Structure 1
Amino acid sequence: MILGLLALLGCQLVGEVLVRLLDLPVPGPVIGMVVLLVLLAWRRPAPEAPVLRAADGLLAHLQLLFIPAGVGVVAYLTVLRQEAVPIVVAMLGSWLAGLVVVGGLLQLAARRRPGRGDR
């Protein structure tokens, strides 16, 4: 499991280095996840591979990773209270935009692929 954690952290480190070198406006861990995705798609590890075991171990305790976010919300509660309207508008706007995009893509996919009764 240590080798798997080292592989995951190595991908994150590569992502951080790429972000710093290329001055990308994306967080390093996101680029690291893309690097990990490419490596996993390329290598196709076995189900008992260390990186998959480490990922399963982290997913089993995923709820613990939300504790820092909860502490951050409590720590900035006064700021959140003062900026509640813009935050709610941004959240609803992004939700609506996502809903429209996914609905549009679903409509497009439904038009391109005939249903079972359309044949």
Structure 2
Amino acid sequence: MSEAIQSECGGGPSRILIYGRGFFLLLLFLVAGQLIERALSLPVPGNVLGMILMALALLCGLVRLESVKPCADLLLRHLGFFFVPAGVGLIQHLHIIAAEWVPILVGTLLSTVAVLWLGGGTTALLMRRKGRE
């Protein structure tokens, strides 16, 4: 067992089982989402469908938050590690980015403005509704 896992899990078998159960549940919902995506040929990525299924299972009480929280917290603490493959992919396709930087920049700026505008509008709407109640 690696030192990183031992330090995160405290070295005890019961802690490792807690993390293992959470990891299994997260993988189960990921695979379920991917299977649904492939079976129905949906335009939504399987990992997003898996997250939606996990959220529904948590809301309905099919999965207890305590079952996945330790593993999810561990993964979130080391989130930067998961950006390494994306960074490597960007470097591998740098020639495409160099050739298409203007549309990429325009798309990034427009989508950022759209998200800020929609987020701000939604927040303002919800605050007005809350003020009326």
Do these two structures clear the TM 0.5 threshold for a shared fold by scoring above it?
yes
TM-score, normalization by structure 1: 0.85
Kindly report the root-mean-square deviation, in angstroms, between the aligned alpha carbons of the 2 structures.
1.7
CA distance in 2, matches of 1:66, 1:57: 15
The equivalences for 1:62-73 within 5 A come to 62-73=79-90
Residue in 2 aligned with 1:24?
Answer: 42
Identity %: 38
CA distance in 2, matches of 1:106, 1:28: 29
Residue 69 (structure 2) aligned to one of 45, 52, 55: 52
CA distance in 1, matches of 2:121, 2:77: 35
Higher RCO (C-alpha 8 Å, min separation 6): 1
Unmatched 5+ residue regions in structure 2? Answer: 1-18
Does 2:8 align with 1:2? no
CA distance in 2, matches of 1:15, 1:69: 21
CA distance in 1, matches of 2:38, 2:103: 31
**Secondary structure at 1:113 match in 2:** helix
TM-score, normalization by structure 2: 0.77
- Relative to structure 2, which stretch is displaced further, 78-87 or 37-46? 37-46
What count of residue pairs does the alignment treat as equivalent? Answer: 113
CA distance in 1, matches of 2:127, 2:60: 31
Letter in 2 for 1:45: R
